């Protein structure tokens, strides 16, 4: 039996899965990563992990896909800059093909996650979807009739780095006022810490102390649910910023559905009920064209693995995809 291998590459680990034709992960492995390791060493570790799967599962590996936290030049499939890994202009595909002479696909990690949700998650049944991943940063991808939208230069979209506030906070990218600076988990953690340290919220201060000083985005939702005024203000500001970004994307691309992934997407009604209303209130033309649904991702951390496993389909003409 020949199955697909999906690799979801992160700054601290790579999650590897064997995925069957029903989009189920039937075996898993994890490989530590880090900027101190040359990419050739990591690729060899990926190969060793794949070879360690039971032969009855993989047989002859049909295909491998890898989602990377970087822009990818689609024509050359070169990783432009994965800063958490110290990779710049790296040819991961060619290196991996020295171990496995099979079709190998590569894409931005958020594009891989969006593709996974389109294949087997919250995007099933939709032809045109937008996914945003709300984590350390804000990533995203668009799937158009089963194809990852790559744009004119093949690098896809970077929704986290659209400007939502001119002369706003400085972003990690070096620009100012990016969505990522206001709508990421990192941004929410920053505001939680500030409110606790400035004694604006006794609830958040106590939560932070109990967590050893390590903020977690869920604290804002939990404290707001308890009636904490400062937490409610933090959450309202967060929701407004996220809604501005989503509204801009809807106005530009008109997706049928917006899928939110990352840990924040687990917040439930406190996130989605007000966010849906804000998006509809802010977006141009909803009275004529309607307002797309905003829904949580279904595959969780598995979306990137599932999507990556089928990236080989992206290199085929639409009428020949398996």
Please name the fold of domain 4-116+302-320. Nucleotidyltransferase; domain 5 (3.30.420)
Percent of the chain whose pLDDT exceeds 90: 73
Quote the pTM value: 0.91
**Could you read off the pLDDT of 163-204 as tens digits, one per residue?**
999 999 999 888 999 999 999 999 999 999 999 999 999 999
- 87-101, 102-116, 195-209: the lowest-pLDDT one: 87-101
In 10 A of CB 147, how many CB atoms?
14
- pLDDT, mean of residues 210-215: 94
Cα dist from 88 to 99, 174, 228, 249, 257, whole Å: 22, 18, 45, 29, 34
**Could you read off the pLDDT of 228-262 as tens digits, one per residue?**
999 999 999 999 999 999 999 999 999 999 999 99
Q: Where are the domains of the chain?
A: 4-116+302-320, 125-297
Fold match, 4-116+302-320 / 125-297: yes
**Could you read off the pLDDT of 262-312 as tens digits, one per residue?**
989 999 999 999 999 999 999 999 999 999 999 999 999 899 999 999 999
Could you tell me the pLDDT band of residue 317, with boundaries at 50, 70 and 90? very low
Task: Kindly report the CATH class assigned to 125-297.
Answer: alpha beta
Cα dist from 242 to 97, 199, 311, whole Å: 40, 26, 29
């Amino acid at each position: 039996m020949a199955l697909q291998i999906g690799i979801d590459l992160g700054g601290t680990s790579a999650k590897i899965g064997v995925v069957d034709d029903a989009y189920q992960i039937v075996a898993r492995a994890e490989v530590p990563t880090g900027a101190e390791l040359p990419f050739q060493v990591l690729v060899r570790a990926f190969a060793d992990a794949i070879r360690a799967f039971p032969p009855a599962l993989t047989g002859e590996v049909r295909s491998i896909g890898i989602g990377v936290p970087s822009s990818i030049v689609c024509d050359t499939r070169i990783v432009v800059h994965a800063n958490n890994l110290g990779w710049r202009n790296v040819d991961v595909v060619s290196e991996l093909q020295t171990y496995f002479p099979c079709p190998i696909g590569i894409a931005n990690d958020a594009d891989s996650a969006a593709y996974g949700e389109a294949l087997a998650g919250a995007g099933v049944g939709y032809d045109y979807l937008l996914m945003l991943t709300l984590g350390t940063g804000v990533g995203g991808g668009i799937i158009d009739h089963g194809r990852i939208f790559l744009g004119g230069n093949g690098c896809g979209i970077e929704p986290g780095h659209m400007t939502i506030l001119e002369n706003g906070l400085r972003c990690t990218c070096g620009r100012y006022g990016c969505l990522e600076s206001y709508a990421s988990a990192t941004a929410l953690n920053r505001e939680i810490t500030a409110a606790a340290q400035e004694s604006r919220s006794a609830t958040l201060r106590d939560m932070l102390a109990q967590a050893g000083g390590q903020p977690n985005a869920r604290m804002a939702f939990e404290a707001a649910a308890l009636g904490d005024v400062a937490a409610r203000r933090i959450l309202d500001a967060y929701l407004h910023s996220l809604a501005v970004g989503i509204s801009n994307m809807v106005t530009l691309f008109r997706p049928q559905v917006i899928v939110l992934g990352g840990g924040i997407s687990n917040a439930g009604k406190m996130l989605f009920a007000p966010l849906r209303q804000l998006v509809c209130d802010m977006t141009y033309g909803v009275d004529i064209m309607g307002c797309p649904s905003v829904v949580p991702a279904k595959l969780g951390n598995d979306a990137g693995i599932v999507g990556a496993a089928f990236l080989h389909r992206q290199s085929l003409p639409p009428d020949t995809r398996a």
